[in-house]
Each structure stands twice: as structure tokens, then as C-alpha cells.
Amino acid sequence: MEKSLKIGSSSDLLSYNEAKQLISGNTGFEYVRIRKNASLDSIKQELFAKEYDLVCVPLSKLPFVLPDGIVLAGVSKRYDTTLSFIGNQNCLKGPTIRDIREGSKILVQSEIIKLQLQKLLPEVDCQIDTGNFVDTTELLKSNKIAGFIRPNYEFEQNKFSLDDHYVWNFSPYEMIGVPADGVITYVCRMDDIIVRKFIKNIHESDTSKCTNVERKIMKSFDSGTIGAYCFKDEHNNFQIHAVNNIEGNERCFFTQSTSAGLAEKIIEILSNEANLSTI
């Protein structure tokens, strides 16, 4: 590519590392860090001021509709979004997660994960985690919490050693995260054809097919009330796990050979369950 690109990232470590990977693989690229907690409007302003040409942002943090003039031009591969509980060894009175001690304080990152954990383990003290990864691990080290739940990519990105901790990896049948988690999207100006062509070459279309399903589901429910995870299995079928918190934390699973119409099927299932629960 002839043009030298200025690449920005949001403040999270996954976006930062994704931007660094783009630079390491492309001669002449420059890296410009976005200020912490940059809004979409400020990203748009800085893109149009040409302070950078594309921005790496977590797809899970972006609304379905963007400000005029900017576009999600592509997405990265999906990093491991398996949700894992990490706890001190003394938080258990038996061999499994169901043996966690009554009243144990566990931190989670979203309301939908909190609701699922409370249904699975009603005896624990589950609270929303407002700190960053380092802050949370310090609370664990000082025994101020019994454990916390995070996606596996955060442990990998932060190089956090799981040695000497109790680890439980949740299957999607047990715990579902927020839609489009673990994926970085590349945001640029809609009229920047050169950058859009570059992004098209690195765009992960298989990832996009799955996150599009998740984001369509997210769009149909109130913010923070939905969990969704879609993937292609070894037979190239699409599998989708979804959960919402309306009237009893309903969940569903569905699989088919194509992603077409899959989001609509899940929306219909969850909406019908929600309606039935109010009769």
C-alpha cells in the first residue's frame, strides 16, 4: 500500500494490541493512541481532521447505528470469548463451581452475566465490576473478592498466570457473554476509498457473518438485556446461543446451515418466550 496510515485505538488492551499488529505487518504505518473513553463523535471528528485514518475499536462497544460519515469497514478475527471464573483456592468447599462458598463476592462485567450467574449460583454475592483488569486482579490477590468472571482473551492479552487459582471455563450452555465480544472493528471515514480497500483485504468475513447475527439480535432488545454468541461448528453449520433478562432470564439455542434469517429466528423465539412468561 502506497499511503502511510495513521492507526488509532480505543483504550482497551485488545484494540491496542490489534493496532500494533497492523503496524508490525505493514511498512510505513504509524500508531496514534486515542485518548481514553473517546466517544464516537470525537472519533468521527478526529478521523475527518485526519489525525488518523482508521481506528481499532471493540465491536461489542459500538451501537448498531453510527454517526454519519464513518463506517465499520471490517472486523478482526475473533479472540477466545469463553467466559471463565477465576478464584482463590479457598473459595470452594468442593471440586466444582457449584461448590463455591455461600456469600462469596464475585465480580462480573455486565448485567446479563450477573443475571445468569445469579440463576446458576443464587447463594453468591455477584456485583458489577467497574474497574479495569489490573484493578480486579489486585482485589483477588488481596482477598477482597473470592473471584471474577472475564472472557479468556483478557487473560491472554494481559499475560495473567492462572497458576495457583481455581479456574472454571463456562460453556455457552451455562454462560453467554455480550454480543460481538472479542472482535475488533476497523472504523474509518466512509469516503476514504483507499483505507476501505486496505481494510477489505484484512477483513475476516467468517467472523463478520457471526457477529452480524449477534448484533441484529442486540438491536431488537433494550441495551444490556441480551447475551448472544454465534459460531460455525466443524460441519460448517451456524450455532447461536442467546439469552435475555426479560421475565426470568430466558435462553435459547438454534442451529442451521446458513446465517441468513438466523437472527430473526432467535428474536422470534426470545420474544415469544417473553410474551408467554407474562400470560
Whether 50 contacts 118, CB under 8 Å: no
- Do 121 and 245 have their domain in common? no
> What's the alpha-carbon Rg for the chain, to the nearest Å?
20
- Do 62 and 105 have their domain in common? no
pLDDT band with cut points at 50, 70 and 90 for residue 276:
very low
- Do 38 and 100 have their domain in common? no
- Give the pLDDT score at 274: 45
- Do 224 and 267 have their domain in common? yes
User: Rounded to a whole number, what is the largest CA-CA distance in the chain?
Assistant: 63
Rounded CA separation 203/150 (Å):
26
> DSSP labels for the chain?
--SPPEEEE-SSHHHHHHHHHHHHTSTT-EE-PPPTT--HHHHHHHHHTTS-SEEEEEGGGS-SSPPTTEEEEEEEEEP---EEEEE-GGGBSSSSGGGBPTT-EEEESSHHHHHHHHHH-TTSEEEE--S-HHHHHHHHHTTSSSEEEEEHHHHHHTT---TTSEEEEPPTTT----TTTTEEEEEEETT-HHHHHHHHHH--HHHHHHHHHHHHHHHTS-TTSEEEEEEE-TTS-EEEEEEE-TTTT-EEEEEES-STTHHHHHHHHHHHHHHHTT-
- Give the pLDDT score at 202: 93
pLDDT band with cut points at 50, 70 and 90 for residue 279:
very low
- Do 90 and 165 have their domain in common? yes
- Do 88 and 130 have their domain in common? yes
Give domain status of residue 177, yes or no: no
Whether 237 contacts 263, CB under 8 Å: no
Give domain status of residue 40, yes or no: yes
- Do 221 and 148 have their domain in common? no
Give domain status of residue 56, yes or no: yes
Give domain status of residue 174, yes or no: no
Give domain status of residue 132, yes or no: yes
When divided into structural domains, the chain yields a total of 3
| Domain CATH code at residue 247 | 3.30.160.40
- Amino acid identity of residue 208, one-letter, is S
Orientation angle between helical segments 205-219 and 262-276, nearest 10 degrees: 30
Give domain status of residue 175, yes or no: no
Considering Cα of 37, then 40, then 42, then 44, what sign does the dihedral take?
A: positive
pLDDT band with cut points at 50, 70 and 90 for residue 228:
very high
- Do 158 and 228 have their domain in common? no
Task: For residue 132, count CB atoms less than 10 angstroms from its CB and return exposed for 0-12, middle for 13-18, buried for 19 or more.
Answer: middle
40-88 pLDDT, tens digit each: 899 999 999 999 999 999 999 998 889 999 999 999 999 999 999 999 9
| Domain CATH code at residue 15 | 3.40.190.10
Could you list the residue range(s) of the whole structural domain that residue 263 is in?
204-279
